[in-house]
């Protein structure tokens, strides 16, 4: 530690960190633009000028740029010194020469870092008389708007897009005062993380295009802390609402998970909440054809009748909260409950939880992922299934660069210097996947093979590390195995990443074996197992008496007379025939869901469920971290939308069922914790409803400048409705209260601080720049994150699979698409526009034999529609990769080989979106 | 005829009647003796000590001691794995400067020999000449000379039959003034945007492709062979003041005999202008001069003509010797207009990285254009001064480009303020005859 003296006050700082970070960590105000807490310093904008004095007798001092000056113990500094203050004002004046005076109509206005810094420096009088420079903007696709006239040339966009996220199609073009940040030509930004430009840009150059279409000022947005429903990473988000629409999603800083960045599925995947296909009223099928909204009371009475005989089966969902799943399990009884995972998925999730339960390897946070010094990805295309993990792996690959820089005495904030010195050298990252991925550029080596051959390679790696571990019979990819074993063996913090994506338990077993082998040799391995849905692990912890097939069979056979499906489209989970057979068996089919889907269309009784933005609940992420998401807004009064658990509570009451009369979400959380040992800690995930901040106030969901409250519903009724009293959470539907950042980190509904209207204000909510939230990072780990024991329970797996041998027909292998494979985000219009149409990938030889070329269509019995052919030489002959989860595609792929034939009538989509 | 002791840089060219000195002529005049001596009979440390002892200072403008710079390069295992680099900065784009072009066009082997010695001293087996893009003649001369030297095994594998290898390549720049800044040069050489780098790390620690690198100016390297051949004492003795060696001085402007002359370091400005450049042409009076290119402060005849042109004396007078090639401003030239012209150049050549340079210089240019056109106000002159102070202070901008841009402006405001005010008062440029108000 070091002590620095700023304007006469003494503060603690870290020796070697840069002065800007040090003063911001003390929550002092010092303007900046180009520095970014996750990206370091480059010294471009010259905004953070500060005076440094040699000693107490030095009154003149010298001006330095805080972001590129290292902290030394005893350093004397002044932010307030007039010379530096005047210089900072001058920098703004220079930036403002060409910046348009369009704040009142600019989307960034009100949350613009440039606006904030302009006010902070005091610049207000324009002296520059020249003509402002203007630019032609580009069409960057459905996610990102472009308005180059506003650019202040801070270089943050390209530094994030290229240097941090590995994108290649956004460039710094031109020179001098004619710098242009854009693509070589119009077109969708290719990076899966392009949405972060919206938050990285300190002004309104890169804007959230879907948000623009339904724009609201930040100060008019109502927000709550939430958790992304897009995958199992559990990134923290701020969804925001106005006029009953979910307007946008912004990053909610979490020191151990997402940090400052989200993926584009998470940012742009929530517009399903506003979709016209939302289910808004309780409905009943009055005859075989017609649905009628008969009012919730009637529907509940009918449901009560259906449940009265006790022969109901309930199917929950990994996209529903643990509370909703627990409620359904309570309603139908554990023996009649299925957690909604498909057969294969259920096995994989159970295996993952079993592996983690045995210990022997750390479960890494994303901060841990970034710190890994050697990474092996086994059988998981993380960029498409857990995208934020891939971004963290990119940072892990840079570990070598930081090490080299450290040896050359280059400070770790000196971003360009570190990159220049390391010359692209990367820490070892190895990727074993079915096909090349879009992070292969960071890989020291790749292996493209079938999941079972990947599993064999994994077993071989474990065996190479520790001979006690089972080796596969026959040949494996020896070079790859040797390189990986050597790199992982040398690493201080080796990381193995796997997941459910290859749908093969052997892959996960092999990954666990590698981690345990490293552990057996005295290493400190981390094992990241990525499931694919927001609450896969939560659902897995809530096991019921029935597998999905058993539940469907019980319905088909008539053993169960009523089927309650909650937030789940069964056609994504099981064979079409099996689902059809159950739904058409004559049983009463009750569906509680938020958005229309094939299962909902088969319902006799349909209840409108709240989405994650309209209710409170808990998701358990890949770390086994339970995180609470809070209701952002109340569904419109004219709709009957309610949280699933509330429907269940009403149904239980109507059916005269005991044990389901939870008084509220907190009571339900408590009941869940008491009844499910694995979930015992979930009440600790967030503060209770009774939490009160400063002056005994609630935490407001609305910023204190929230406007129009008396007018926004005046077209309906001139009387302003009384704000709902929220007795379920510490939040209020109000602008009254305190959002100081001192509350628990799980209870921060938005970031704002006096003078800091933009998202840059997040540093005021952190213990130190880039560190944990002042009130602690959200969530509670339900599985021991550290190895704890010596891994004594970590009994290695002993059954390496046999090598893949092609036979007749094609073995279908699963692929995943960041835009399209996830059920809910695929219904969000910007994501839907970006999703590929269904396709398969074939080896060129196989394609030749089938007589098909790229862009042709093929059909097979197992797929309901013809699909486009793509060709990749990395594809194993005799296999065909198929994107799971796309509309019209089956969830689980058939295990048996399929025969393809060319479909001469196939009409290919007009544009093939090159992806994955 | 001059003795070989007096003009180590240009005497061969003069003896060759101004024709290109080819490899035979060069060797005939004692060429490559020094490089052979250094590579085959001296240790790298001894070469570095010799150059330090000779007090050779960088001729590109900054005047940093060359031997000291070479001494920063880690030797042996300390350098880590991979090549070290010697880069010759031949991106001669300073307005008014054409000395390196002369050396490279007419005596390219002198540069090559200097680079062999320098590369040997720092242990660099790869070297580049980073040449200004528009320098077609030097390109052809160097291309030919490098091929000839390679044919005789003075370059390539086993230089002079020994163990030292040197891969010397000629790189023609795409053409930006900022590439003369050594770290922008390195970025450009690596194929990146020609933007300067944040220092530290300095090039000797992490330069080209992240490896230890020395960047030296053409004229600097051309001095090295004679130092090795004739010794440090001889070299120091050439200078008239504390600075050692000779210097190629140049004069452009309305003089009778504009050109370049190799003269002892420390020759006075008066001698350069009056004796060598032949004095001002009839009808023109000298009003000011930029001593070392466009990015140096004006000096004025009333105060500075008798200053010796060396690093210390010119600095003490508030300017810099820079490249040593001066631009003369006579009484027919409007100081406001020359300032505007210079700011146009510097604004155009800004790399666009840091705010004060990128946004500040174009504003200064516009203010100067307004004043020149008679549209300026007295407040504009204040705005010029306050902005110049903020833009020009080293450390306020990312590199020294803007500081260099401000030197002629700030000094013009100091020495020719009356001209600026006259423009504002009269609402016109007094130097433009028969023109109405702007």
CB contact under 8 A, A414 and B366: no
Choose among A647, A654, A644: nearest CA to A325.
A644
Residue A710, pLDDT score: 85
pLDDT digits (tens, 9 = 90+) for B199-224: 999 999 999 999 999 999 999 999 99
Judgement on whether residues B219 and B83 belong to the same structural domain of the protein: yes
Residue B207 sits in the same domain as residue B271: no
Q: B5 in a domain, yes or no?
A: no
Looking at residue B435, its pLDDT comes to: 53
Residue percentage of chain B with pLDDT more than 70: 98
Closest CA to A589 of A573, A601, A577, A597: A601
**Taking the CB of residue B62, how many other CB atoms lie within 10 A of it?**
14
**B435, part of any domain:** no
Q: Could you tell me the maximum CA-CA distance found in chain A, to the nearest angstrom?
A: 92
Which residue in A26, A391, A447 sits closest to A193, CA to CA? Answer: A391
Residues B129 and B188 in one domain: yes
Tell me: do B252 and B298 sit in the same domain: yes
Averaged over A573-591, what is the pLDDT? 94
Contacts of B353 in chain A (CB under 8 A): 44, 155
pLDDT confidence of residue A420: 94
DSSP H helices in A185-286? 196-200, 209-212, 264-268
Which residue spans within B32-166 are E strands per DSSP?
85-90, 126-131
Q: What contacts A262, CB < 8 A, 6 or more positions away?
A: A193, A195, A196, A228, A235, A237, A249, A251, A388
Interface test with B, best of A90, A171, A405, A418 (most B CBs within 10 A): A90
> Distance (Å) from the C-alpha of residue B119 to the closest C-alpha of chain A?
21
Mean pLDDT of all residues in A277-300: 88
Contacts of A416 in chain B (CB under 8 A): 197-198
Q: How far apart are CA A825 and CA A270, in angstroms?
A: 6
Question: A463, A516 in Cβ contact below 8 A?
Answer: no
Running DSSP on this structure, what letter comes out for residue A639? S
Q: What's residue A888's pLDDT?
A: 77
Do both B162 and B279 map to the same domain? no
Do the domain assignments include residue B153? yes
Cβ distance B351 to A175 less than 8 Å, yes or no, reads yes
Nearest to A539 by CA among A834, A323, A827, A854: A323
Q: What are the backbone dihedrals phi and psi of residue A124, each rounded to the nearest 5 degrees, phi first?
A: -145, -25
* Phi and psi angles of residue B146, each rounded to the nearest 5 degrees, phi first: -65, -40
Do B155 and B255 share a domain, yes or no?
Answer: no
pLDDT per residue as tens digits for the range A464-482: 999 999 999 998 999 999 9
Q: Do B359 and A95 touch (CB under 8 A)?
A: yes
Q: For residue B414, is pLDDT > 90?
A: yes
Residue A887 has a pLDDT of 81
Could you say which of B300, B330, B360 is where a domain stops? B330
Alpha-carbon distances of B16 from A462, B10, B12, B19, B136, rounded to whole Å = 74, 10, 6, 6, 21
Contact A410 B201 (CB under 8 A): yes
- When divided into structural domains, chain B yields a total of 3
Q: Residue A533 above 80 pLDDT?
A: yes
CB B243 within 8 A of CB B233: no
Q: Is residue B1 part of a domain?
A: no
Are A624 and A607 spatial neighbours (Cβ–Cβ below 8 Å)? no
Residue B48 placed within a domain: yes
Predicted pLDDT of residue A292? 86
CATH number, residue B252: 3.10.20.600
Residue B130 has pLDDT above 50, yes or no: yes
- Residue A542: the pLDDT is 94
CA–CA–CA angle A638, A644, A645 (5° rounding): 120
pLDDT value at position A915? 41
Q: Is the pLDDT of residue B267 over 90?
A: yes
Q: Do A175 and B176 touch (CB under 8 A)?
A: yes
* Chain B CA closest to residue A425: B210
For the residues A73-92, what does the mean pLDDT come to? Answer: 98
Asked whether the beta carbons of residue A94 and residue B356 sit closer than 8 angstroms, the reply is yes
A63, A97, A177: residue with CB nearest B396: A63
- Which residues are CB-contacts of A571 (< 8 A; sequence separation ≥ 6)? A579, A597, A598, A599, A890, A891
- Nearest to residue A588, comparing CAs of A605, A571, A601, A568? A605
**What are the residues whose beta carbons fall under 8 Å from the beta carbon of A656, sequence distance 6 or more?**
A304, A308
Taking only the tens place, the pLDDT of each residue in A303-343 is 999 999 888 999 999 999 999 999 999 999 999 999 999 99
Centre a 10 Å sphere on the Cβ of residue A724 and count the other Cβ atoms it contains.
13
Look at residue B3 and tell me if it is in a domain: no
Q: Are residues B306 and B370 in the same domain?
A: no
pLDDT of residue A912 exceeding 80, the answer is no
Encode pLDDT of A125-174 as tens digits: 999 999 999 999 999 999 999 999 999 999 999 999 999 999 999 999 99
- Under DSSP, is residue A382 helix (H, G, I), strand (E, B) or coil? helix
Whole-number Å distance between alpha carbons of A159 and A462: 38
Q: Comparing C-alpha atoms, which of A489, A372, A480 is closest to residue A430?
A: A480
- Which of A35, A42, A43, A46 should we substitute to test contact with B (largest number of B Cβ atoms within 10 Å)? A46
Task: Give B201 to chain A, closest Cα distance, Å.
Answer: 6
Average pLDDT in chain A: 95
Rounded mean pLDDT of A532-536?
97
The whole-angstrom distance between residue A415's C-alpha and the CA centroid of its chain comes to 26
- The verdict on ipTM greater than 0.90 is yes
Q: How far is CA B436 from CA B373, B426, B427, in A?
A: 10, 10, 9
Peptide bond connecting B200 to the previous residue in cis, omega within 30 degrees of 0: yes
Specify burial of residue A82 (Cβ count, 10 A radius: 0-12, 13-18, 19+): exposed
Look at residue A502 and tell me whether its pLDDT is greater than 60: yes
What's the CATH number where B359 sits? 1.20.1440.230
Residue A528 backbone phi and psi in degrees, to 5: -105, 120
Average of pLDDT values for B334-338?
97
Domain closes at, from B330, B347, B364: B330
Q: What is the dihedral of CA A738, A742, A744, A746, to 10 degrees?
A: 70
The pLDDT value given to residue A914: 42
User: Which H/E stretch holds residue A731?
Assistant: strand A731-732
Q: Is B291 found in the same domain as B146? A: no
Residue B436 has what pLDDT?
A: 47
Residue B377 belongs to domain spanning: 335-426
Q: Which residues of A touch B349 (CB under 8 A)?
A: 176
Of A635, A661, A629, A630, give the one whose Cα is nearest residue A646.
A661
Chain A partners within 8 Å of B397 (Cβ): 46
Question: How many Cα atoms occupy the beta-carbon half-sphere of B71 within 13 Å?
Answer: 14
Please indicate, yes or no, whether residues B145 and B36 belong to a single structural domain of this protein. yes
pLDDT tens digits, B161-178:
999 999 999 999 988 999
Strands (DSSP E) along A71-157, which ranges?
75-78, 144-146
Residue A559: per-residue pLDDT:
95
What number of CA atoms fall less than 13 Å from residue A69's CA on the CB side?
A: 26
Instruction: Check whether A901 has a pLDDT greater than 50.
Output: yes
Q: Please, are residues B234 and B256 in contact by the beta-carbon 8 Å criterion?
A: no
Q: How far is CA B214 from CA A196, A218, A420, A451, B169, in A?
A: 40, 52, 16, 51, 15
Q: Are strands A731-732 and A699-700 parallel, antiparallel or unpaired?
A: parallel
Residue B201: give its domain's CATH number. Answer: 3.40.50.11540
Whether A845 contacts A405, CB under 8 Å: no
pLDDT at position A512 over 50: yes
Q: Give the other-Cβ count within 10 Å of A656's Cβ.
A: 9
3-state secondary structure B248-284: EEEEECCECCCEEEEEECCCEHHHHHHHHCCCECCCC
Same domain, B275 and B347: no
Domain assignment present for residue B434? The answer is: no
Tokens (6 digits) for B401: 């480009």
Q: Is the pLDDT of residue A653 over 50?
A: yes
A612, A626 in Cβ contact below 8 A? no
pLDDT value at residue B5? 66
What is the predicted pLDDT for the residue at A795?
86
* A47 in B contact zone (CB under 8 Å): yes
| Per-residue tokens: A590 | 């009750």
Determine which helix (DSSP H) or strand (DSSP E) holds B247, and give its type and residue range.
Answer: strand B246-252
Q: Which residues of A touch B387 (CB under 8 A)?
A: 90
Question: In this structure, is residue B115 part of a structural domain?
Answer: yes
A-interface mutation test, from B363, B395, B403, most A Cβ less than 10 A away: B363
Strands (E), A578-655: 588-593, 605-608, 617-620, 625-629
Average pLDDT on A501-520 reads 97
Whether a cis peptide bond, with omega within 30° of 0, leads into A335 is no
Tell me how far apart the alpha carbons of residues B140 and A60 are, in angstroms, rounded to a whole number: 53
State residue A913's pLDDT score: 45
User: How many Å apart are CA B427 and CA B437, to the nearest integer?
Assistant: 6
Considering B171, B205, B238, which residue would you say is the last residue of a domain?
Answer: B238
Q: What is the pLDDT of residues A784-823, one digit of tens each?
A: 877 655 556 678 999 999 999 988 899 999 999 999 999 9
Other residues' Cβ atoms within 10 Å of the Cβ of residue A213: 13
B212, closest residue in chain A (CA to CA): A421
Distance from CA of B296 to the nearest CA of A (A): 21
How far apart are alpha carbons B79 and B81 in whole angstroms?
A: 7
pLDDT at B237 over 50: yes
Render A749-795 in DSSP notation, one character per residue: ----BTTB-SGGGGGGGBSSTTS-BTT--S-EESS-SS--S-STT-P
- CA–CA distance from A873 to each of A249, A350, A387, A847, A877 (Å)? 39, 34, 25, 10, 9
Helix (H) / strand (E) element for B289: namely strand B286-290
Distance CA B38, CA B113 (A): 10
The span from the CA of A647 to the CA of A296, in Å, is 9
- Whether residue B142 contacts residue B149, with contact meaning beta carbons closer than 8 Å, is answered with no
3-state helix, strand, coil in chain B (%, to 5): 50, 15, 40
Query: Is A128's CB within 8 Å of B363's CB?
Result: yes
| pLDDT, tens digit (0-9, with 9 covering 90-100), for A417-453 | 999 999 999 999 999 999 999 999 999 999 999 999 9
Chain A residues 144-163 with CB within 8 Å of chain B = 152-153, 155
Give the rounded percent of residues in chain A with a pLDDT score beyond 70: 98
- Verify that B101 and B66 share a domain, yes or no: yes
pLDDT band of B14, cuts 50, 70, 90:
very high
Do B169 and B20 share a structural domain? yes
């Amino acid at each position: 530690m070091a002590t620095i003296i700023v304007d006469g006050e003494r503060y603690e700082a870290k020796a070697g960190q840069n002065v800007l970070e040090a003063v911001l960590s003390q929550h002092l105000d010092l303007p900046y633009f180009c520095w970014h807490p996750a990206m370091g310093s480059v010294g471009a904008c010259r905004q953070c000028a500060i005076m440094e004095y040699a000693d107490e007798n030095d009154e003149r001092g010298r001006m330095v740029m805080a972001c590129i000056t290292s902290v030394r113990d005893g350093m004397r500094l002044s932010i307030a010194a007039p010379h530096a203050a005047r210089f900072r004002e001058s920098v703004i004046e220079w930036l403002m020469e060409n910046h348009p005076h369009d704040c009142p109509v600019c989307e960034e206005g009100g949350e613009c870092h440039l606006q904030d810094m302009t006010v902070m420096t005091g610049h207000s009088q324009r002296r520059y008389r020249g003509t402002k420079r203007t630019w032609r903007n580009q069409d960057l696709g459905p996610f990102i708007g472009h308005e180059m006239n506003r650019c202040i040339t801070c270089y943050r966009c390209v530094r994030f897009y290229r240097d941090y996220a590995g994108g290649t199609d956004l460039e710094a073009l031109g020179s001098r005062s004619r710098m242009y940040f854009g693509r070589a030509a119009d077109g969708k930004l290719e990076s899966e993380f392009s949405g972060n430009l919206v938050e990285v840009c300190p002004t309104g150059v890169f804007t959230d295009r879907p948000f623009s279409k339904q724009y609201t000022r930040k100060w008019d947005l109502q927000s709550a802390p939430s958790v992304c429903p897009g995958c199992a990473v559990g990134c923290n988000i701020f969804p925001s609402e106005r006029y009953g629409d979910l307007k946008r999603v912004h990053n909610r800083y979490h020191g151990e998970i997402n940090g400052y960045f989200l993926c584009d599925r998470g940012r742009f995947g929530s517009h399903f909440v506003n979709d016209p296909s939302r289910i808004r009223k309780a409905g009943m099928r009055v005859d075989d054809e017609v649905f009628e909204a008969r009012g919730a009371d009637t529907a509940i009475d009918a449901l009560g009748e259906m449940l009265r005989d006790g022969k109901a089966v309930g199917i929950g969902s990994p996209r529903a909260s643990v509370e909703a799943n627990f409620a359904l399990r309570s309603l139908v009884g554990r023996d009649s409950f299925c957690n909604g995972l498909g057969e294969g998925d259920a096995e994989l999730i159970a295996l993952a939880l079993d592996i983690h339960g045995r210990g022997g390897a750390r479960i890494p946070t994303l901060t841990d992922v970034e710190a890994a010094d050697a990474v092996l990805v086994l059988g998981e295309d993380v960029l498409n299934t857990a995208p934020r993990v891939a971004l963290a792996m990119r940072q892990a690959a840079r570990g070598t660069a930081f090490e080299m820089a450290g040896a050359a005495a280059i400070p770790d904030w000196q971003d360009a210097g570190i990159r220049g010195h390391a010359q692209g050298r990367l820490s070892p990252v190895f990727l074993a996947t079915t096909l090349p991925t879009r992070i292969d550029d960071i890989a020291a080596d790749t292996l493209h093979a079938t999941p079972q051959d990947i599993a064999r390679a994994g077993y071989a790696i474990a065996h190479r590390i520790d001979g006690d571990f089972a080796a596969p019979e026959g040949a494996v990819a020896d070079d790859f195995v040797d390189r990986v074993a050597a790199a992982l063996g040398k690493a201080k913090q080796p990381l193995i990443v796997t997941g459910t994506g290859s749908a093969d338990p052997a892959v996960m077993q092999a990954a666990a074996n590698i981690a345990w082998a490293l552990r057996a040799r005295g290493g400190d391995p981390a094992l990241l197992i990525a499931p694919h849905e927001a609450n896969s692990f939560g659902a897995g912890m809530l096991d019921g008496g029935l597998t999905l097939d058993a539940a469907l069979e019980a319905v088909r056979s008539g053993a169960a007379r009523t089927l309650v499906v909650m937030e789940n489209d069964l056609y994504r989970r099981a064979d079409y025939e099996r689902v059809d057979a159950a739904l058409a068996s004559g049983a009463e089919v009750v569906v509680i869901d938020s958005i229309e889907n094939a299962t909902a269309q088969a319902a006799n009784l349909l209840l409108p469920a709240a989405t994650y933005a309209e209710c409170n609940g808990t998701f358990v992420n890949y770390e086994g971290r339970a995180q609470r998401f809070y209701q952002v807004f109340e569904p419109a009064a004219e709709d009957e939308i309610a949280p699933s658990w509330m429907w269940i509570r009403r149904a239980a009451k109507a059916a005269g069922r005991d044990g389901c009369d939870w008084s509220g979400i907190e009571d339900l959380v408590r009941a869940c914790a008491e009844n499910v040992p694995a979930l015992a800690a979930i009440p600790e995930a967030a503060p209770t409803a009774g939490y009160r901040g400063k002056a005994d106030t609630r935490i407001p969901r609305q910023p204190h400048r929230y406007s129009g409250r008396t007018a926004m519903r005046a077209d309906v009724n001139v009387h302003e409705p009384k704000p709902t009293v929220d007795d379920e959470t510490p939040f209020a539907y109000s602008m009254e209260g305190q959002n100081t950042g001192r509350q628990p980190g799980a209870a921060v509904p938005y970031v704002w601080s006096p003078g800091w209207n933009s998202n840059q204000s997040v540093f005021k909510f952190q213990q130190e720049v880039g560190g944990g939230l002042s009130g602690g990072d959200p969530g509670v780990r339900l599985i021991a994150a550290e190895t704890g024991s010596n891994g004594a329970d970590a009994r290695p797996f002993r059954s390496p699979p046999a090598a893949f041998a092609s036979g007749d027909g094609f073995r279908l292998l699963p692929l995943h698409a960041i835009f399209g494979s996830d059920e809910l985000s695929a219904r969000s219009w910007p994501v839907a526009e970006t999703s590929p149409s269904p396709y398969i990938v074939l080896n060129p030889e196989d394609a030749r034999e089938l007589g098909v070329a790229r862009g042709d269509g093929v059909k097979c019995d197992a797929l309901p529609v013809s699909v486009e052919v793509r060709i990749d030489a990395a594809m194993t002959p005799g296999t065909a990769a198929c994107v799971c989860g796309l509309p019209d595609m089956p969830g689980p792929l058939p295990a048996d080989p399929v025969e393809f034939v060319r479909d001469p009538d196939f009409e290919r989509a007009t544009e093939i979106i090159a992806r994955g | 005829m001059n003795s070989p002791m007096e003009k180590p840089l240009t005497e061969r060219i003069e003896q060759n009647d101004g024709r290109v000195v080819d490899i035979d002529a060069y060797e005939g005049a004692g060429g490559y003796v020094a490089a052979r001596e250094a590579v085959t009979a001296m240790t790298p440390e001894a070469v570095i000590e010799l150059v330090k002892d000779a007090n050779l200072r960088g001729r590109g403008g900054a005047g940093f001691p060359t031997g000291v710079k070479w001494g920063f390069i880690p030797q042996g295992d300390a350098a880590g794995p991979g090549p070290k680099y010697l880069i010759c900065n031949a991106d001669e784009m300073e307005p008014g400067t054409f000395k390196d072009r002369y050396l490279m066009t007419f005596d390219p082997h002198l540069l090559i020999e200097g680079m062999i010695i320098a590369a040997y001293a720092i242990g660099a087996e790869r070297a580049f000449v980073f040449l200004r893009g528009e320098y077609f003649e030097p390109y052809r001369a160097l291309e030919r000379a490098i091929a000839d030297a390679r044919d005789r095994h003075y370059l390539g594998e086993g230089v002079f039959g020994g163990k030292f290898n040197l891969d010397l390549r000629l790189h023609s720049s795409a053409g930006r003034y900022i590439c003369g800044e050594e770290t922008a040069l390195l970025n450009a050489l690596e194929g990146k945007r020609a933007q300067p780098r944040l220092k530290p790390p300095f090039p000797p620690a992490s330069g080209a492709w992240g490896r230890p690198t020395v960047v030296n100016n053409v004229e600097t390297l051309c001095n090295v062979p004679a130092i090795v051949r004739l010794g440090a004492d001889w070299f120091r003795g050439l200078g008239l003041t504390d600075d050692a060696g000779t210097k190629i001085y140049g004069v452009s402007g309305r003089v009778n005999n504009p050109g370049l002359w190799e003269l002892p370091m420390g020759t006075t400005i008066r001698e350069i202008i009056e004796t060598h450049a032949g004095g001002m042409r009839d009808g023109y009076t000298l009003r000011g001069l930029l001593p070392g290119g466009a990015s140096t402060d004006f000096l004025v005849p009333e105060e500075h003509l008798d200053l010796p042109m060396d690093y210390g004396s010119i600095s003490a007078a508030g300017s810099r010797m820079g490249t040593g090639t001066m631009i003369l401003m006579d009484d027919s030239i409007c100081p406001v207009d020359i300032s505007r012209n210079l700011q146009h150049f510097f604004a155009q050549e800004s790399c666009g990285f840091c705010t004060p340079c990128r946004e500040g210089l174009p504003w200064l240019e516009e203010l100067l254009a307004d004043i020149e056109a008679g549209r300026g106000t007295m407040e504009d002159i204040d705005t010029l001064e306050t902005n110049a102070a903020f833009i020009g202070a080293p450390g306020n901008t990312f590199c020294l480009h803007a500081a260099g841009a401000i030197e002629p402006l700030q000094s013009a405001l100091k020495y020719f303020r009356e001209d600026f005010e006259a423009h504002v008062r009269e609402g016109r440029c007094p130097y433009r005859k028969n023109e109405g108000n702007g």
